[in-house]
Structures are given as C-alpha cells and as structure tokens.
Amino acid sequence: MSEPLVLGIETSCDETAVGVVRGRKLLANVIASSVEEHARFGGVVPEVASRAHLEAMQPTIMRALQESKIELSDLDAIAVTAGPGLVGALLVGVSSANALALALDKPLYGVNHLASHVAVDLLTHTQEFRPSIALLVSGGHSSILKVSDLASEIESLGQTLDDAAGEAFDKIARVLGLGFPGGPIIDSEAKGGDREAINFPRGLSLPKDMAEHAFDFSFSGLKTAVSRYLTANSNYKRADVAASFQEAVVDVLLIKSIKACVDTGIDSLIIAGGVAANSRLRELAATRCKAAGIELRTPPPALCTDNGAMVAALGSLALSKGLAPSSLGIAAASDTPPTQPLWA
Ligand code: KG4
Ligand code: ZN
C-alpha cells in the first residue's frame, strides 16, 4: 500500500476534533471546541461536552474532508480515541467512527488518547522514530513514559500522585481569578512577572523523595503553598505569583524527565500533551536538554492540545505496521493507562 490515508476522531474532553493524515503527513486538523460553554463553571461539564460533540461531529468531519481535499471513500482506515476521557464524550466519537468504518467497510483503530499525544511526534519529526522518554503532561494526566515503540511498547516510569500538571495550572488560575482553562492564561500572565520572586516547592524532588519517587509528581503541596502565599500577602503581584508557580511546575517536570533520560541512557525526550504548549516549559527544556546532550522533540503548540491529527497519526502507524484493526463495536473506556496504545 502507498502511504495510508487515515481519518482520526477525538472527543475525549471538550474538543470535537478531526484530523486527516497520509502516512506521516498532516492533511487536515479541524477543531470545534465547546470550551466557552464550560468557562463559567471553571471546568468541563461532561453532559454539556457530550451534547456539543453530537452537534459538532458531522460538520467537523465534513470540514476535515474539505480541507484535505479527499472523499470518505478514499480513506484506508478510521482511527478514534477510545479512552481515557469522559465516557459520554468518548462515546460520541467512538459511535461515529464505528458507523463510518462499518458503512465504508474500512478498518477501525481504537487508540489511546495519551499514547496519541506522544504519537503526534510522527507528524513533526520526519526521521525514523527512535526510543524516547516522553513527558506527557495534560489536563488529566502527568506521566514519564519510556517509549520503545509508539504502537506497541510503552512503559510507565512514573506519574502524578495527585493532580495532573494541567489541572494544577487550571486550579491556580482560578484562585488568581484568571479564568479557564488556566494554562494558557498563566503562561501569558507569567511573561510580565518575576519567576524568582517566590520560591515555591518542587514536589517530590528532595533526595529522600527521589529515592522512592524519582519519576513521580505531586502538585498538592505547591497548590497549598500558593494559596497560603496569597492569604499571607494580600497585596501580592499576580504576575509574580503566576511566573513563580509556573517555574516550580516546569522545573520539577524537567528535573525528572532529564533524570529519566540519563538513568535509562535514552538521549531523546518528547514533551507532549496540552501543557507541552507552555512557553516556559519549552524554553527551559531546550536549554537543559542541550546542556545534557539530549535531543528535544516538542510538537508545535497547536498539536500539543487535543486534536484529531494525533489520533490519525497513531492509526496510520498501526496500519502501516500491519497491526490488526480493533473489533467493530469497541467500547469507550474512561480510564486506560498510556501503556495500552491500541484497542484489541
Ligand atoms: O491535552 P489537553 O488539551 O487535554 C487533556 O487531555 O487534558 O490538555 C489540556 C490542559 C489544560 O489543563 C490546560 O490548562 C493545559 O493543558 N494547557 C497549558 C497550556 N496550554 C494548555 N498549560 C500550561 N501552559 C500552556 N500554554
Ligand atoms: Zn489530551
């Protein structure tokens, strides 16, 4: 087969997203987000998200086909996020993908949302994939993964014991009165602040914690420290708090990711997931990786947050490796570890 043409559907949270790839080439990446409907609640409301997916699904598929200048009948496979995520939201994408695969008589690949965040690397780095450490940081997950093969061999080295990194950004943005989602807002607020103004704690980074939790994260102590600081300093400078908080998160993410590279002898680091769009994380990662002789691979910011292209990329990889498609009628699963990239 020439390079496979794959359509990917992503509906695990509040983005109805459809991407089209040919092999490792991105042809279309269309996103309809319901984020504004959730903003006043300060977080994603599952039922609101599911309804928005139902309305947006078909028009988003049509736009992706138009953008990539292809017909449904040209496709070689359909890929869809089957988990983890909000079950009602996932179900909309999974049902649509099942229907398309059945009607077109094409193979269906149910893919893991977390693995596909990492697999988006395929679309931006054209050289052969090589074993990498992946720092996966999103609104629901924070893990350090050893990725030997994107479609079949992902090992978890550590993960957060409490909040995800993105969740910490969202919660701190809320206490600072900055709106939702908090990551991008803190990122821009921090640009006007002093990141050394306040020395917030770096969770699980003391020698005694590193012995047991070298690759695990904890953001609860940091959250408490920020809240205490705000209570004790009523005339605090918001930009300084944002910058110092962001620095604490980014610092600890990178300390542990680089240690994972050094300890495993793997000199390639992929940073993926919504938080990978963070400008300070990208900047500091570039400096530290260069100093440590590690190749840094970060997708462009638009491919870090949830999208359909990453789903199509993992589906396309599975098809080109000749892996068996998923069975038709696969179920959505809310909680699936990143170590299971594809559905049976
Ligand atoms: O991967 P993603 O789009 O959705 C999930 O799978 O969760 O990640 C969303 C998370 C949110 O918590 C959001 O605040 C965070 O990514 N995020 C950022 C930035 N852009 C998005 N966090 C820090 N800096 C950013 N620039
Ligand atoms: Zn995500």
Closest atom of ligand 1 to 85 CA is 6
Per residue in 167-213, pLDDT (tens digit) is: 999 999 999 999 999 999 999 999 999 999 999 999 999 999 999 99
Q: At what angle do helices 238-264 and 165-175 cross, to 10 degrees?
A: 170
C-beta 274 within 6 A of ligand 1: yes
Residue 22 contacts residue 5 (beta carbons within 8 Å): yes
Question: Do 107 and 225 reside in the same domain of the chain?
Answer: no
Give the other-Cβ count within 10 Å of 107's Cβ. Answer: 21
Question: Do 29 and 109 reside in the same domain of the chain?
Answer: yes
Q: What is the pLDDT of residue 98?
A: 97
Question: Do 183 and 86 reside in the same domain of the chain?
Answer: no
Instruction: Provide the domain limits for residue 25.
Output: 5-120+307-320
Rounded to an integer, what distance in angstroms lies between the CA atom of residue 116 and that of residue 309? 9
C-beta 138 within 6 A of ligand 1: yes
Query: CA nearest 7: which of 20, 16, 22?
Result: 20
Question: Do 174 and 80 reside in the same domain of the chain?
Answer: no
Rg over CA atoms, the chain: 20
Rounded to an integer, what distance in angstroms lies between the CA atom of residue 268 and that of residue 112? 22
Question: Do 171 and 255 reside in the same domain of the chain?
Answer: yes
Per residue in 58-96, pLDDT (tens digit) is: 999 999 999 999 999 999 999 999 999 999 999 999 999
Mean pLDDT, rounded, for 288-317: 97
Would residue 142 count as lying in a domain? yes
Tell me how many domains the chain contains: 2
Question: Do 204 and 242 reside in the same domain of the chain?
Answer: yes
Minimum CA distance residue for ligand 1 atom 14: 183
- The CA 263 to ligand 1 mean position distance, Å, reads 28
- The CA 213 to ligand 1 mean position distance, Å, reads 24
Q: What is the pLDDT of residue 1?
A: 59
Would residue 27 count as lying in a domain? yes
Per residue in 208-240, pLDDT (tens digit) is: 999 999 999 999 999 999 999 999 999 999 999
Closest atom of ligand 1 to 180 CA is 14
C-beta 278 within 6 A of ligand 1: yes
Would residue 339 count as lying in a domain? no
Would residue 236 count as lying in a domain? yes
- The CA 171 to ligand 2 mean position distance, Å, reads 17
Closest atom of ligand 1 to 279 CA is 26
- The CA 243 to ligand 2 mean position distance, Å, reads 24
Q: At what angle do helices 182-190 and 238-264 cross, to 10 degrees?
A: 110
C-beta 308 within 6 A of ligand 1: no
Question: Do 174 and 314 reside in the same domain of the chain?
Answer: no
C-beta 219 within 6 A of ligand 1: no
- Global confidence as pTM: 0.97
Structure tokens at 72: 């449904």
Closest atom of ligand 1 to 305 CA is 3
77-83 and 25-33 strand pairing? unpaired
Q: Which ligand minimizes its atom distance to the CA of 188?
A: 1
C-beta 11 within 6 A of ligand 1: no
Question: Do 38 and 115 reside in the same domain of the chain?
Answer: yes
pLDDT at residue 334 tops 80: yes
- The CA 235 to ligand 2 mean position distance, Å, reads 36
Would residue 220 count as lying in a domain? yes
For a ligand 1 pocket test, name from 271, 275, 283 the mutation site with the most ligand atoms within 8 angstroms of its C-beta. Answer: 275
Question: Do 90 and 183 reside in the same domain of the chain?
Answer: no
Q: CATH code at 277?
A: 3.30.420.40
Closest atom of ligand 1 to 166 CA is 12
Question: Do 92 and 215 reside in the same domain of the chain?
Answer: no
Q: Which ligand minimizes its atom distance to the CA of 140?
A: 1
**pLDDT bracket for residue 42 (50, 70, 90):** confident
pLDDT at residue 100 tops 80: yes
Would residue 340 count as lying in a domain? no
Would residue 326 count as lying in a domain? no
Question: Do 143 and 259 reside in the same domain of the chain?
Answer: yes
C-beta 338 within 6 A of ligand 1: no
Question: Do 113 and 240 reside in the same domain of the chain?
Answer: no
Structure tokens at 248: 């604490």
Would residue 343 count as lying in a domain? no
Per residue in 128-176, pLDDT (tens digit) is: 899 999 999 999 999 999 999 999 999 999 999 999 999 999 999 999 9
